[in-house]
């Protein structure tokens, strides 16, 4: 699969000339870029963009990544916001209002993105999947369930389902997502459950740290046998990238999408 990075450019060329259909994509019709590159918190590192910013999402889309990962929290006034850590600008997100958080801008001048803003930006294209991580609550398990419910409600309101893969370290959050959206793509992050366990609970993917897969090598074959999607995080070293390419992982999540594209294109994968 050579020169896969040029596909997005061709997509935008046809789209800008009005040659693409404006029909709303569906889960069955969506065709993401044919590569394994998932940009971790967007593509931010090379150009020194803020992680989880709209700009880092746009860069992941521009690069042609098949996915762009981002992290979601719930504020004290029930706003859904995009940020990795449970704290922002010295404030605990779950104990602060959006107005309090937005008073401090990102380093590029953006406001702290809301999930609504992030999704509507991501839905402007159809080659990069939006890998939505629902963060466990620092307050209570119950609030994590509330967060999951609000996320799924927003996704449905925006008709964003075809773009979304849900991931979480909280297994009960993924179960809540499946209760509300039974056909959702969900992947577990924590790494202690076997592919067989995931399949039994109708979890779509194992999205584990690279050390988990290297220590439990047999899980790779088990996942493929069970129909479990394989993703790995966060792989930034060329040798590790090649190891997971050789083991035919479905996705590799990385802070170095440009490096991963270079390796893929050189190998003609």
Tell me the three-class secondary structure of 1-49, residue by residue.
Answer: CCCHHHHHHHHHHHHHCCCCCCCCCCCCCCCCCCCCEEECCCCCCCCCC
Q: What is the mean pLDDT of residues 213-235?
A: 98
Q: What is the pLDDT of residue 28?
A: 61
Output 195-202 pairs: Cβ under 8 A, ≥24 positions apart. Answer: 195/219, 195/222, 195/223, 195/225, 195/226, 195/228, 196/222, 196/226, 198/226, 198/228, 199/226, 199/227, 199/228, 201/171, 201/175, 202/178
Q: In this predicted structure, what is the pLDDT of residue 17?
A: 35
The residue whose two tokens read 């709303």 is 24
Residues 6+ apart with CB under 8 A from 103: 89
CA-angle at 122, arms to 253 and 180, nearest 5°: 80
- For residue 166, what pLDDT is reported? 99
45 and 65 Cβ atoms separated by less than 8 Å: no
Q: Could you read off the pLDDT of 161-206 as tens digits, one per residue? A: 999 999 999 999 999 999 999 999 999 999 999 999 999 999 999 9
Cα 244 from Cα 231, distance rounded (Å): 9
Can you tell me the distance from the alpha carbon of 70 to that of 170, in angstroms, rounded to the nearest whole number? 16
State the pLDDT at residue 24. 67
Residue 207 confidence (pLDDT) above 50:
yes
């Amino acid at each position: 699969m050579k020169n896969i990075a040029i596909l997005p450019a061709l997509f935008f060329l046809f789209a800008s000339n009005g040659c693409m259909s404006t029909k709303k994509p569906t889960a069955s019709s969506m065709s993401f870029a044919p590569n394994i590159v998932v940009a971790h918190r967007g593509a931010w590192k090379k150009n020194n963009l803020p992680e989880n910013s709209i700009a880092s999402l746009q860069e992941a889309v521009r690069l042609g990544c098949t996915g762009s990962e981002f992290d979601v929290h719930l504020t004290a006034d029930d706003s859904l916001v995009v940020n990795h850590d449970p704290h922002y600008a010295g404030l605990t997100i779950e104990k602060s209002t959006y107005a309090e958080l937005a008073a401090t801008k990102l380093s590029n001048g953006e406001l702290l993105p809301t999930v609504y803003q992030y999704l509507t930006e991501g839905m402007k294209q159809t080659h990069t999947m939006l890998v939505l991580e629902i963060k466990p609550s620092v307050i209570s398990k119950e609030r994590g369930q509330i967060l999951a419910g609000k996320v799924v409600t927003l996704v449905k309101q925006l008709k964003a389902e075809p773009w979304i893969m849900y991931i979480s370290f909280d297994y009960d959050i993924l179960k809540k997502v499946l209760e509300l959206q039974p056909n959702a793509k969900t992947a577990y992050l924590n790494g202690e459950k076997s592919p067989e366990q995931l399949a039994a609970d109708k979890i779509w993917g194992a999205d584990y740290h690279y050390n988990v897969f290297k220590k439990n090598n047999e899980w790779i074959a088990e996942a493929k046998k069970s129909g479990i999607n394989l993703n790995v995080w966060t792989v930034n070293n060329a040798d590790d990238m090649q190891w997971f390419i050789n083991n035919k992982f479905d996705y590799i999540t990385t802070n170095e999408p440009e490096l991963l594209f270079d390796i893929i294109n050189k190998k003609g994968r």
